[in-house]
Amino acid sequence: GHYLAMGMTRLTPLLKKLDVVIVNREEGASLTRARYEDERAIFRRFDKVVAGIAVMTEGPKGVMVSDGQTLYRAGIYPNQQAADRTGAGDAFGSGFVSVLARGGTIKEAIRFGSANAASVVESVGAQAGILTKSSFARAPRWKRLAIYEHKL
């Protein structure tokens, strides 16, 4: 809320210093002043000011990630029985960043962040269902998530 109200011009100095910027689609469209339906325009504008990785979540529709050269798109893990959506975005973000912090790839980060969000959504409460690295690795359910890449 507060940061979005500042606008892109005032946020640019901060965005240029960040390794990862995560917004939902509404925030991305509002901040970049691009049409909500035009994700490429949203990412083009983010890529001009975000030195690192720009992430745009879309709840049950999945996530899009840009490293400035490639746009990654992934849906969500199937068979989710959503009990409570509280904390899903934060669970995705913390999982995503934790993989990158350990030197993982963007695709690995998307898989773990998405699995973490799915696990939290299936539990009641914002912290219930948080995955550990080992619980993620052990569960066959998390082995596959289609991630599509498009050059920008």
User: 116: exposed, middle or buried (C-beta count within 10 Å: 0-12, 13-18, 19+)?
Assistant: buried
Q: Cα Rg for the chain, rounded, in angstroms? A: 15
Token readout for 50 is: 């975000």
Helices (H), the chain: 2-15, 25-32, 39-49, 88-101, 106-121, 133-138
Query: Strand 147-151's sheet: what is its strand order?
Result: 20-24, 53-57, 63-66, 70-74, 147-151
Is 90 annotated in the active site? yes
CA-CA-CA-CA torsion sign (144, 83, 97, 39):
positive
* Length of the chain as a residue count: 152
For strands 147-151 and 63-66, give the pairing. Answer: unpaired
User: Which is catalytic among the residues 47, 67, 84, 90?
Assistant: 90
Q: List active site positions.
A: 90
